[in-house]
Amino acid sequence: MSTAASVTAELTGTGVRRFTRRATARRADTSWLTLGGDLLSALTTAGVVVAVLGGAFSALRERIAARPPAPATDLPGELTALVAALVVAAAVVALLSRLGPLSATPAAAAWWLPLPADRRGLLRGDLRRVGAVAVVAAVVVALPVVLAAPAAPTLLEVVVTVLAAALLALLAVGVLVLLQARSLTGWVAPAAGSLATVAVVVPAVLGTVGAGGSGWTWVPAAPDLPLPVLAGVPLLLAAGALLAADRVSGRVPAGALRDRGTAVLVASVSALSLDTRELGRALGTPVHPPRRARRWARVHTPWQAVVAGDLAVTTRSPWRWGQLAIGTALPVLAARTDGLGGVPALVAVAVVLGWSLAAVALGEPSRQAHGAPAADRSLPLGARDVVRARALVPLAGLVVVCAVSAGLVGLGWEWAALGAATAPAWAGAAVRGGYRPELDWSGPVLSSPVGAVPVTVVFTLLRGPDLGILGSVPLVIGLLLGVVPPLLLGVALGWSVLLGLVAVETAQRRRS
């Protein structure tokens, strides 16, 4: 059929969606009873999670309040709660911009987008889905933050905060779609990453500079406005942004929708199969080729080639610097926060989180090498030697991160030395995590709320950070003692080097 076709009314975007939905529903074996059961199960799970979280955070808040104030903890808890909310919000915004927010699955890109149907109608379902996901994310972020607030919140305050977070999430979706329609989302993820970095690093630095001295005076608080204004303004802004987003969604180019849809598909499959390595690749910001290719004139040996390549991979993405800065500053922020700083276990959790983030950033060359083993095989080096060489860049990076971070947590050179002594274990963790094997789906599986998962899932996903956490045990002992005895320093170094060697020697290079 070419130009002389007999044509009547074309399907609208809504009509196309309806046609597809009805055709799909005809062979779906999901009954209303099943859907109702699933919904009930999801609501019950959510209720249990809220109750458990609420109880845990209330208990934590009471325990912190009962402790005497610790020295050098000048940052108010409200500020750190705000920082946590900002960091998670930045991550969600970066994620939304990476995945769309609007996208078309490969099938929709191939069969829907070429139709003359209005694109606005075609994408309205996706806009609703993204909005719902953003609201859920906002509730999940806001609930723990408000429940852990130093001043015990009332039920009304909890509801208003969660509602405001949900409305702000919808506002963010609307604004991102407006940017997407103008192909202007490229700067969003870098800006969100920069904001998260500044939000963590600046309070940590200021809290450390003023530690024990003049102290921090500003305490963030909700604006003193009547409730209708507090809830009404975000509501109006969110509604306006979503209406505007709906209006411009027809201007989003098909190429962008297709690219984002492919990223969503890969990320979804990776998440469902618990392949966090592939998930990271799907969600990672694309790295642009350098303006000037490196010639590596000073590289003369295979060991140098591995190190030079790893340095290039590590430094080519600006976000890695952000990860290292956040990883360094996070334990410092916890140590300087009133309440948190007085609980060594919570500072230790911040240490593990921060240094894990740094190890993940410095483990990128190992992850890439695991994904494309051919380049390593072309080197005249044995498999074990390649992995050993690959530990050098993470070791150098983590010596700096751990020494600076621990030194600022404990405010002393002995703490910096203890941090540096812990670095070999975390460097080993970076390499071990990068080379960790895929999940074994051929073995026994467990039933879980997200479906069947292999019984070995925890061991596989923790492969890498596990040895880093073990290597941090002397540091945790130091935090509990409040001092760093010379013996502890020696034990920490020996223990960390041993774990680092175990991590590197047991890292498995893929055969094919």
Q: Residues interacting with another protein, by CB under 8 A?
A: 1-11, 16, 19-20, 23-24, 27-28, 105-111, 113-119, 183, 250-255, 258, 288-289
What's the min distance (Å) between Cβ of 322 and another protein? 22
What's the min distance (Å) between Cβ of 182 and another protein? 12
Distances (CA, A) of 411 to 80, 197, 336, 415, 475: 20, 22, 10, 7, 14
Reported as type and span, the H/E element at residue 110 is helix 106-111
Q: How many residues belong to the chain?
A: 512
**Which residues are within 8 A (CB) of 49 and not within 5 positions of it... i.e. 6 or more apart?**
none
What's the min distance (Å) between Cβ of 454 and another protein? 25
Q: Which is nearer to another protein, 5 or 156 (CB)?
A: 5
Q: Which is nearer to another protein, 18 or 67 (CB)?
A: 18
Q: Which is nearer to another protein, 117 or 282 (CB)?
A: 117
Token match 């108010």: residue?
Answer: 76
Q: Which is nearer to another protein, 119 or 390 (CB)?
A: 119
Q: What 8-state DSSP symbol labels residue 452?
A: E
Q: Which is nearer to another protein, 253 or 490 (CB)?
A: 253
What's the min distance (Å) between Cβ of 25 and another protein? 9
What's the min distance (Å) between Cβ of 34 and another protein? 16
Report d(CA 364, CA 75) in Å as an integer.
33
329, amino acid identity: A
β-pairing, 445-448 vs 451-454, is antiparallel
Helical segments of 363-485, H only:
364-371, 374-377, 383-390, 392-410, 413-434, 457-461, 465-471, 473-481
What's the min distance (Å) between Cβ of 176 and another protein? 18
Half-sphere exposure of 402 (CA within 13 A, CB side): 32
Q: CB count, 10 Å around CB of 235?
A: 16
Report d(CA 162, CA 502) in Å as an integer.
46
Reported as type and span, the H/E element at residue 451 is strand 451-454
Q: Which is nearer to another protein, 28 or 225 (CB)?
A: 28
What's the min distance (Å) between Cβ of 245 and another protein? 16
Q: Which is nearer to another protein, 9 or 227 (CB)?
A: 9
Distances (CA, A) of 492 to 210, 298, 329, 471: 30, 35, 22, 7
Q: Which is nearer to another protein, 250 or 280 (CB)?
A: 250
Distances (CA, A) of 63 to 68, 153, 334: 10, 16, 16
Reported as type and span, the H/E element at residue 453 is strand 451-454
Q: Which is nearer to another protein, 317 or 422 (CB)?
A: 317
- DSSP for 314-325? HHHSHHHHHHHH
What's the min distance (Å) between Cβ of 11 and another protein? 5
Q: CB count, 10 Å around CB of 170?
A: 24
What's the min distance (Å) between Cβ of 26 and another protein? 9
Q: Which is nearer to another protein, 156 or 293 (CB)?
A: 293
Whether the CB-CB separation of 447 and 382 falls below 8 Å is answered with no
What's the min distance (Å) between Cβ of 221 and another protein? 46
Q: Which is nearer to another protein, 3 or 448 (CB)?
A: 3
What's the min distance (Å) between Cβ of 252 and another protein? 8
